[in-house]
Amino acid sequence: MNSPITPELLRQYDVPGPRYTSYPTADRFVEAFGPGDYGQALTQRREGPAAMSLPLSLYVHIPFCESLCYYCACNKIITKHHSKAASYLRYLSQEVELHTAVLGTSQPVSQLHLGGGSPTFLSDDELRELMAMLRRNFAVAPGAECSIEIDPRTVTAERLQVLADLGFNRISFGVQDFDPEVQKAVHRVQPYEQVAALMADARRIGFDSINVDLIYGLPRQTPESFARTLAQVSTLRPDRIALYGYAHLPERFKPQRRILSAELPAGGAKINMLSSALAAFLSAGYVYIGMDHFALPGDALAVAKRQGRLHRNFQGYSTHADCDLIGLGVSAIGKVGATYSQNAKTMEEYCDLLDQGKLPVVRGLALSRDDLARRAVIMALMCQGQLVFESIELAWLLDFRQYFAAEMEQMKELQAQGLVAIDDTGIQVTAKGWFFVRAVAMQFDKYLQADRNRARFSRII
């Protein structure tokens, strides 16, 4: 199966834009939203009519890494002192207790994700302690989706078995690229053979889904070298693949200053890599989920895509319905009711707030009616690839074509390019348009349309 897009179209849409893991996007959060506002949102959840029937999603941020990956834009702490993890777990427990003081200890949880940093920086005993603490304070449902990000350099077959025993059923390997020269350039050396052996172990243990993360546009990458990585990944046959374009923003992310700009592939080569990846994975039988995600046809994500049940949250595409998200740990982002919140980004500020007995929220946003209506539009396009005017009109008591008159005018160009089909009932993202769904969604982003300075976002392509 060939990709329905051309390098020319890829070049046209090689522009910065949000990933829409939320709307409004996190850059719109304000410091006027603090612990009191977040506490009020938690209280409203507890007192709401469906408080115990709507499950929660939990995200726990583990910021520690043993070594620095030069491309990384995550919030992390580089250290070889594993003793820091024990102190951090105590603070996580304090944060959870502040939540359960409001919510109680019986809130149902259908989704749990450990991200970082490197969650596998924690020892087996520390992971056991963390999971036991979470299960004491939340009602993690049988069969809940429990996922964890893994640095292949930090695990063995025995550690993978521990993760399975703790209830993790989805794992994600950070691979990025298998080429030795590229790995040296980004300070992350992990041979193909090492990852292949771990994936074989993970299959033997029986994880429900194995994901592999890749990045194109890294230093010393060439279309030829990346084609070899694509072939190797296709041979490994992970259930899911996340393919990200490297965003070189050294002025924002200090580790990236160690990357030599002269070693980055030119724009044309980067487009070539993306085009090759799309063709390679589609030819290998993967379903294009959207944005930068692929899955085998039998994976739950691909099934959800076929059945129109895709959702999107701060971890990306999900099979779980839109639900409140509790973010725990340094820099973690949450969503409760019609609010977004983010914890302190530094360990010092995070711990200081908890020492004061305060929730460590330092910024966030209470969504307006317009925000909520636009979020519904953007998520329908991003997840289902279609928008029915009547559904938005009934939910938000508005005339769609009148309310979004300027946006519909802008959509005419996308329609002329064959990216969307528009009729009297709604908007349908075409098969070709699905590869540029961020560009479609951007048309309805009020903040982005008013602010043409988009350099803070990663590029769509």
Binding residues for S-adenosyl-L-methionine: 59, 71-73, 116, 149, 176, 188, 213, 247, 333
d(CA 430, CA 419): 5
Residue 220's SS3 state is: coil
Query: Binding site: what residues are annotated?
Result: 59, 65, 69, 71-73, 116, 149, 176, 188, 213, 247, 333
Do you know the residue count of the chain?
461
- Beta strands at 56-62 and 108-116: parallel, antiparallel or unpaired: parallel
d(CA 150, CA 114): 9
**DSSP sequence for 370-416:** HHHHHHHHHHIIIIISEEEHHHHHHHHTS-HHHHTHHHHHHHHHHHH
d(CA 46, CA 365): 19
Task: Show the tokens assigned to 17.
Answer: 């834009």
Query: Binding site for [4Fe-4S] cluster: what residues are annotated?
Result: 65, 69, 72
Measured CA distances, 60 to 92, 333, 422, 458 (Å): 9, 10, 41, 24
Beta bridge mates, 115: 61
34 by Cβ neighbours in 10 Å (0-12 / 13-18 / 19+) ranks as middle
Task: Show the tokens assigned to 271.
Answer: 């487009």
307 by Cβ neighbours in 10 Å (0-12 / 13-18 / 19+) ranks as exposed
Strand boundaries in 188-290, DSSP class E: 209-216, 240-245, 287-290
Return the residue matching tokens 């977040």.
Answer: 38
Return the residue matching tokens 């771990």.
Answer: 198
d(CA 38, CA 326): 11
d(CA 239, CA 287): 10
